[in-house]
Amino acid sequence: MSNAQLALQQAQPSADFEAKLARSRALLQQAAREFQPLVQASSLGAEDVVIRHLIETLDLPIPMLVLDTGTLHPETLELLARTEARAAQPSAQPVQIYRPQAGAAEAFVEREGPDAMRRSVALRQACCAIRKVEPLRRALHGQRGWITGLRREQSATRAEVPLIDRSDLDPARADRPSAGLLQFNPLADWSWGDVWHHIAHHSLDYNPLHDRFYPSIGCAPCTRAVSVGEDFRAGRWWWEQDNAKECGLHASKEGEPHAATPRLDNSQLDALEEETIFILREVAAAFERPALLFSGGKDSLVLLRCAEKAFGQGRLPYPLLMIDTGHNFPEVLAFRDQRAHELGAELIVRRVEDSMARGSVRLAHPGQSRNAHQSVTLLEAIDEFRFDALIGGARRDEEKARAKERLFSHRDAFGQWQPKAQRPELWNLYNTRLQPGEHFRVFPISNWTEIDVWQYIERERIALPSLYYAHLRQVVQRRGLLVPVTELTPPLPGEQVLECSVRFRTVGDITCTCPVASTAATAGQIVAETLNAQLSERGATRMDDQTSEASMEKRKLEGYF
């Protein structure tokens, strides 16, 4: 029985495989739409077969390049011939084959011998440079980006491979064959079981060497089968130390593998998670009509993961509530709807535009930010559904007005926060008694920090909207912030539009939410960046918090979350 047949029976895909698949498809579509000309680099391994299938089913204009080193296995050459035959069909994308320069490989063998690569790492790298690196340089000339089958699970040197790698945009790496290009790794977070589940489910043609325990396939003299317990790339250059096993195609710097982000101790996460779960259960037990404020942002997604652990998947005991300003990022709204659907949760959306239509919200001018007016719509929703508790993802480290917030924050009959009415919370005992018309705002992750949140996201593999990770975006510099260029936030006269690699530390209304410059494409890389951050996430990214020293305090008094 082949690996593909075993995959459906034994190698089960990850629990979040469908989310990974959707993310991979979306990444390929984004790459094809925004970064042409673009090419897929394929070694005809299992990962490359999956990526080719996704490209073909999405009907994307992305050709495939293959490096024929002159020493490939016969099975690989046979698969290449079958792949070329399929590519010859009408409307199919071509297969481009690149070989070493005429005579270069032969001259190397004549000079150093056929087994030179086993005498030293330097000779092996020289062989790779002739058979792989130089042909790849020619293949990528004139491209804006390339797609690879790198996965984090493949080896320790690839443990931090991002979905989009921007490292080759650095001018200091001009000697790389992929210098100046974006590298897309759509399967970066896939497991081996995910790969084979997809191959088996779609009956895809694959290299039969995989059935003979070759998870990674390269040149015949430098590849062997692996044994039980060895990692996926143990069969590549097996006579070398593990930290040297790259050929120069996928290095962060010439000759260096993708560097792993230093790991921090995250033992505190268990205690924080336990406290959060306790509070979520306390809310369910103490209140009649609670709701969880859900924006689709990272903090509310962390809350949802804890809620799943508190009550079980698909058993959330309260609805999700979002106040939509009408100016939210579409990526976040789409992710919000997708996540609510996956959970089978009731999603209640109330819009500031409806409050405007009722006359309860009036803008000073059409261009005024609607963010501050969420308080009115939120209080109207509380009155409509008679909510007696709202669970939010606010944290004390975000902003100084939130630093003195209680876990169970009492709000009066007008929905306002009164400092003198807050109750003591000694020994984790919470006074949840209410008078008619009053309610509580509950903040289960109040004791978490931004680094705790990102470490938890990394540990739990929580999917997030793409805005949270580094991407290219047009921005202008304004008042010390990077303001995204959108229809709602156009550049002002005299402002220069820049295209930068940025990510959002927090997401909210487009008119007042700014990204930060970043190349961090994984949760681990974001943790490393956050360690060096000088401003809180709201202080660094929210224009509405910079209007005065007491911006947040004033909005809390008005009923803001």
CA atoms within 13 A on the CB side of 76: 21
Q: Which CATH number fits the domain that encloses residue 96? A: 3.40.50.620
Pairing of strands 145-147, 38-42: parallel
One domain, residues 287 and 433: yes
Q: Say how far apart CA 377 and CA 362 lie, in whole Å.
A: 12
500 is in an annotated binding site: no
Do 444 and 477 lie in one domain? The reply is no
Name the more confident of 303 and 239: 303
Residue 127 assigned to a binding site: yes
pLDDT at 53 over 90: yes
In a domain, 235, yes or no: no
Structure tokens at 143: 């491209």
Active site positions, annotated: 247
Note the pLDDT of residue 549.
45
pLDDT at position 231 is 66
Q: Enter the tokens of residue 36.
A: 């042409």
pLDDT(134) > 70: yes
% pLDDT > 90, the chain: 36
488 in the same domain as 410: no
360-389 exposure pattern, b = at least 16 Cβ within 10 A, e = fewer? ebeeeeeeebbbbbbbbbbbbbbeeeebbb
| Alpha-helical segments (H) within 251-392 | 268-286, 298-311, 330-343, 352-358, 374-385
Amino acid at 164: I
Same domain, 427 and 486: no
Residues 183, 165 contacting (CB under 8 angstroms)? yes
Structural domain count of the chain: 3
What is the pLDDT of the chain when averaged over all its residues? 83
Cβ 397 vs Cβ 351: under 8 Å: no
Same domain, 286 and 395: yes
Length of the chain as a residue count: 561
Residue 257: inside a domain: no
CA-nearest of 24, 7, 15 to 201 is 7
Residue 514 is assigned to a ligand binding site: no
Containing structural domain, residue 491: 464-548
> Are residues 301 and 392 both part of a single domain?
yes
Distances (CA, A) of 184 to 38, 158, 201, 250, 368: 10, 14, 24, 11, 38
Is 185 found in the same domain as 120? Answer: yes
The response to whether 306 counts as a known ligand-binding position is no
Among candidate residues 161, 194, 222, the one where a domain is terminated:
222
Is the predicted pLDDT of residue 448 greater than 60, yes or no?
A: yes
Asked if 445 and 475 sit in the same domain, the reply is no
3-state secondary structure of 291: strand
Residues 181 and 284 occupy one common structural domain: no
Q: Which of 164-178, 312-326, 542-556 has the lowest mean pLDDT?
A: 542-556
Once rounded to an integer, what is the mean pLDDT over residues 507-534? 80
Q: pLDDT tens, 312-368?
A: 877 899 999 999 988 888 889 988 898 888 888 899 999 999 999 998 888 888 777
